[in-house]
Amino acid sequence: MKAPRLPDSPFWVEPEAVGPRHVRLSAEESHHLVHVHRAKEGTPFQATDGQGGFFECVVESVERRAVVGRIVERREGRGELGRAIELYVGLPDWTAVEKVVEHGVPLGTTRFHFVVCERSGHQGPSAERLGRLDRVARAGLKQSRRSRLPVIQSSASLRAALLALSPGQRFMADPEGVPFTPDLLKSGQPAVQIAVGPPGGFTPEESALLRSHDFSPILLGPSRLTTETASLALLSLVRNSLLRSKL
Residue 213 has pLDDT above 50, yes or no: yes
Are 235 and 119 contained in the same domain?
Answer: yes
Instruction: Output the pLDDT for position 5.
Output: 59
Q: Give me the number of domains the chain comprises.
A: 2
Instruction: Output the pLDDT for position 104.
Output: 98
Instruction: Output the pLDDT for position 65.
Output: 83
Q: pLDDT tens, 83-114?
A: 999 999 999 999 999 999 999 999 999 999 99
Instruction: Output the pLDDT for position 4.
Output: 54
Q: What is the arithmetic mean of pLDDT over 129-157? A: 96
In which band, very low, low, confident or very high, does the pLDDT at 188 lie, cut at 50, 70 and 90?
confident
Whether 42 contacts 48, CB under 8 Å: no
224-233 residues labelled b (16+ CB within 10 A) or e (exposed): ebebbbbbbb
In angstroms, the CA 135 to CA 133 distance is 5
Of 27, 45, 74, at which residue does a domain stop?
74
Are 168 and 99 contained in the same domain?
Answer: yes
Of 23, 45, 74, at which residue does a domain stop?
74
Taking the whole predicted model, whether its pTM rises above 0.85 is answered as yes
- Examine residue 2 and state whether it is found in any structural domain, yes or no: no
Q: Using CB atoms within 10 A of its CB, is residue 169 exposed (0-12), middle (13-18) or buried (19+)?
A: buried
Q: What does the radius of gyration of the chain's CA atoms come to, in whole angstroms?
A: 20
Are 99 and 218 contained in the same domain?
Answer: yes
Q: pLDDT tens, 222-235?
A: 999 999 999 999 99
Helices and strands counted in the chain (H then E): 6, 11
Q: What percent of the chain is predicted at pLDDT more than 90? A: 87
Residue 1 has pLDDT above 50, yes or no: no
In angstroms, the CA 110 to CA 86 distance is 6
- Examine residue 229 and state whether it is found in any structural domain, yes or no: yes
Q: pLDDT tens, 30-56?
A: 999 998 888 899 999 999 999 999 999
Range of the domain at 34: 11-74
Are 126 and 219 contained in the same domain?
Answer: yes
Residue 247 has pLDDT above 60, yes or no: no
Are 21 and 93 contained in the same domain?
Answer: no
124 in helix, strand or coil? coil
Of 44, 74, 104, at which residue does a domain stop?
74
